[in-house]
Structure 1
Amino acid sequence: MIFWTFLIIIAILQITHYKINSKTPDAFKNIHTITLFNRIFMIITKQGYDKLYFSHKQYFEKDGIVKQRIRGKWYCLVTDPAIAKELLLKPDVYPKMSIEKLFPNSLFAEYLGTNVAFSNGDVWKRHRRVCNSAFKSLPLHLFAETGLKMINTLETIDNKPVEIKNFMQRYAFDVLGKVAFGFDFNSIGNPNSVYITAFDEVQKTIFNPLSLIFPIDRVPIIRQQRLKKVNKLNNIFNEIINEKYKALAAGKSQGDLLENMLNACDNQMLSDSELRYNLALFMLAGHETSAIALATTLYLLSTYKNVQEKAREEVLRILGDDLIPSADQHRSLKYLNMIIQENLRLYPPAPALIFRELTENIKIKDTVIPAGTPIELFLYGIHHSPKLWNNPEEFLPERFEKNDYADSENYSWLAFGAGTRTCLGNNFSLIEQRIALCLLLRKYEISLAPNSIHKNGLKIHTQMLLPYPLDLIFKRKD
């Protein structure tokens, strides 16, 4: 029965593919297609964006563009750095697509609403002014507080395998709680806390790959069940905002991001619902991406012991007896920063940027993409292009020694985007990563667990480049 069902599904997909291609507009005729069958196969087999790139590498490298059809509309995926520069430096000509346009009537759109990442024009400027004020001065003491809590927890499991992906997710979740919200989620101490459980449920719901391809959120019984999970997390956000209002009224200050945002909103620049949407965005963007970045960096350090030793020597030399780097010391950790940049090149936690919508035609080599087409910048493809990088699949932190890539005009390294829409949380993430890595390197030798599935290369899945369970061993140094 399963065999025949599978054959029927394959037949339906092939017929759908034929009908779609037979009606392809002339502008897209010569662009290679990632078919619906390709995408569903990737979802079923849990393949990540790395497999997407390597499966279609010849087209990404030759043409700099491929196309796919999602929910009845053609989308383009671009790896041409010249087009990346054009899109990122002209946000008014190539605005970000709203969530409602991307996924109409979806829970994804309902959960994130109008926020600083998906808005444009005057609305974006209003949100960005408030957020810029909040991110201007980051409270290092709150990062440090959570980092020390992480180390204390790790002390209880010395020299035993630690599933680092989950552990870094809990650490990043608590950093976000403390630094962004002034709130203790305590997920390091309690992995099953109501807060992280609610967030995980919503994340699995709104990022269900099939939901992003097919509008199953519109099915009433499915929508009702999923909406309960979203509302549960929204209630937590409302609780956090209300607690912060009470703390400020009582004269209690921690200097966290939410506090700074509320102070910037004295003239009602953002409503409470808009604040909640931005908190949801910060949690979504600031938790998972930093956790993945730390997990993949620690994997690389466990595999390249010479790099680990060199980084440890730098940390001990610059920090001395200090556990947490000061603001000046963050800048002095040059080799550690090179490691972080190279990891973000190899494994960008956000392997593609938010869709831009063309307000005018754009030419990519011999192809003219018509206005109205959504375009997604495929960072993973740009970061792994042999046209832009020597030995792109090798881990070589030294390639960033002169910082030629991160500050260059060739748009070959875009881990945090570029231009006026550069990621708000780039410094937040870098501080979080440096503090965690300094604490771990000075105290532990990091090794990959014996018989790991990752011993011949990191195995990743999903569009967020999430590693499969990754056991590392932290052996306390004398």
Structure 2
Amino acid sequence: MEASWLETRWARPLHLAFVFCLALALLQAIKLYLRRQRLLRDLRPFAAPPAHWLHGHREFLQEDKMEKLDEIVGEYPCAFPCWVGPFQAFFYIYDPDYAKIFLSRTDPKTHCLHKFMTPSLGRKGLLDLDGPKWFQHRCLLTPGFHCDILKTHIEAMACSVNIMLDKWEKICSTQETTVEVFEHINLMALDIIMKCAFGQETNCQINGTYDPYVKATFELGQILSHRLYNFWHHNDLIFKFSPKGHHFQKLSKVLHQYTEKIIQERKNSLKSGMKQGHTQKYQDFLDIVLSAQAENEDTFSDEDLQSQVNTFLWTGHDALAASLSWLLYCLALSPEPQHRCREEIRSILGDGSFITWDKLDEMSYTTMCIKEMFRLIPPIPSISRELSKPLMLPDGHSLPAGMTVVLSIWGLHHNPAVWKSPKIFDPLRFTKENSDQRHPYAFLPFSTGPRSCIGQQFAMLELKVAIALILLRFRVTPDLTRPLAFTSHILLKPKHGIHLHLKKLPE
């Protein structure tokens, strides 16, 4: 029986559509195959750990496997290619000479990572901008981190730290007590950022107003890490309709709501202050950003404003919380350096009731302990760039344009070819004599050059104030029944918190 006219009419377009989709799928498969072959060719000169053809180096890329990276660094002392699935590879480097060549260039930030971060930050912020716009924004925001402005923050920092310590005293009373300190430090770091950068008294350590924000930043970091090292989620459409992608969108909205509120409240306050003739006693970060927008309306939009606020609030709060947590953890594991820090702090600050910039600058041994923490557990364990032109390496081999190169700060700081006994906490590595003898690119916790961390002085100031006040009131020792685990490759945080024994010291 012959097909009806209607059946024939509908069948032809369906057949054409099927053939078209099949051709597209075949072209995509060919494209991916050629991409893999090109990567295999480009990376053939470099030795690497065995990789599964489909999963790549999945064992190494798991978030709690930093010790696996130590093994790789010991076996491959300069660099190795790391496969993320079958069609994507990053080139890891952790040698000072490699780092020097890499950081002397002006390659843009890694496209995939910062593309993934943009929805949570809004438009690109200082962290992921490139080219003239990055330079312009960097110049506009740098005055917010001048030492004259930072000096005005010391009192507010000390106040926030003391709120946390008062909470610890209530928990501990006269007995030594185990406390999960990361949760408290996280809120304290947020309190400091809100006061110093945005001029807001939130009482977030007491009333829990910002608990949803803190939770959102923690989960966003985990999802970003998962997406970066899962090749299939590099596709925007696949990720968007995945459970993690849906949750990511909800978390991003939480961040935007909080920063929108901060900006709007300050704008309303400024309008009210202008009407009443009020002036602030000093400029904070938000003042600087708003002034930059007012003076550069054509090149600094409302979206730019919010992205810069998002960037500084999220990354600043997160990185500072992680840094102080790791510092306290390192000192808990090292009784002698902890005791020496405490004695130095007492001799300079007394009871800690009056802290000044100059006194903090005298805390040389404490500063060495902070630097050693950054070496042993760098909160930001890597930075990455996408090569805009071929990169010639010290061994004579080269990498092609388009390759993603990851400078592993963790690997560099743990490289036994660079550091003697790298897993031991030894602050004396940073005496002037030892520092002068070391390769200038062997220690890079804040990166270096024009793209070094804009907030590194702010971070060092907060760490000095916080650790000084903590050690004046408490002795800390580790809870060895709770093993430590890391939770992210983007920012190193404790996966299950940091549990320490706290002992209140006599007045």
Does TM-score exceed 0.5, indicating one fold? yes
Matching of residue 47 in structure 1 with residue 60 in structure 2? no
Cα displacement string for residues 257-304 of structure 1 (whole angstroms, at most 9, x for unaligned residues): 112221233212522211211222223321222222211221221121
Q: Which residue of 2 aligns with 1:428?
A: 458
Matching of residue 235 in structure 1 with residue 243 in structure 2? no
Alpha-carbon spacing, 1:170–1:376, altered in 2? closer, same or farther (3 Å): same
Q: Which residue of 1 aligns with 2:482?
A: 453
Q: Which residue of 1 aligns with 2:163?
A: 149
Matching of residue 441 in structure 1 with residue 471 in structure 2? yes
Q: Which residue of 1 aligns with 2:138?
A: 128
Q: What is the count of residue pairs matched by the alignment?
A: 449
* Matched letter for residue 291 of structure 2: N
> Counterparts of 2:89 and 2:57 in 1: how far apart (Å)?
14
Query: What is the TM-score normalised by the length of structure 2?
Result: 0.81
Indicate the SS of the match to 1:240.
Answer: helix
Residues 61-460 of structure 1: matches in 2 within 5 Å? 61=77, 63-69=78-84, 72-91=87-106, 94-97=107-110, 101-103=111-113, 106=116, 108-112=117-121, 113-136=123-146, 137-138=149-150, 139-158=153-172, 159-191=176-208, 193-209=211-227, 213-215=231-233, 217-219=236-238, 220-222=240-242, 223-249=245-271, 250=273, 251=278, 253=280, 255-268=283-296, 269-323=299-353, 325-402=355-432, 404-405=434-435, 409-449=439-479, 451-454=480-483, 458-460=484-486
Indicate the SS of the match to 2:163.
Answer: helix
Alpha-carbon spacing, 1:142–1:58, altered in 2? closer, same or farther (3 Å): same
* Matched letter for residue 362 of structure 1: M
| 8 Å CA contact retained: 2:383, 2:407 | yes
Matching of residue 466 in structure 1 with residue 466 in structure 2? no
Offset at 1:119? 1.5
Alpha-carbon spacing, 1:118–1:287, altered in 2? closer, same or farther (3 Å): same
Q: Percent identity?
A: 24
Alpha-carbon spacing, 1:331–1:406, altered in 2? closer, same or farther (3 Å): farther
> Counterparts of 1:472 and 1:289 in 2: how far apart (Å)?
20
> Counterparts of 1:224 and 1:196 in 2: how far apart (Å)?
19
Structure label with greater radius of gyration: 2
> Counterparts of 2:115 and 2:350 in 1: how far apart (Å)?
55
Q: Which runs of 5+ in 1 are unaligned?
A: 1-16
Indicate the SS of the match to 2:91.
Answer: strand
| 8 Å CA contact retained: 1:294, 1:433 | yes
Indicate the SS of the match to 2:179.
Answer: strand
Offset at 1:395? 0.8
Offset at 1:246? 1.7
* Matched letter for residue 406 of structure 2: E
> Counterparts of 2:481 and 2:167 in 1: how far apart (Å)?
23
Alpha-carbon spacing, 1:207–1:368, altered in 2? closer, same or farther (3 Å): closer
| 8 Å CA contact retained: 1:33, 1:66 | yes
Query: What is the TM-score normalised by the length of structure 1?
Result: 0.85
Cα displacement string for residues 420-455 of structure 1 (whole angstroms, at most 9, x for unaligned residues): 111011111111111110111111111223x5234x
Indicate the SS of the match to 2:69.
Answer: helix
| 8 Å CA contact retained: 1:31, 1:67 | no
> Counterparts of 2:323 and 2:376 in 1: how far apart (Å)?
10
> Counterparts of 1:262 and 1:234 in 2: how far apart (Å)?
17
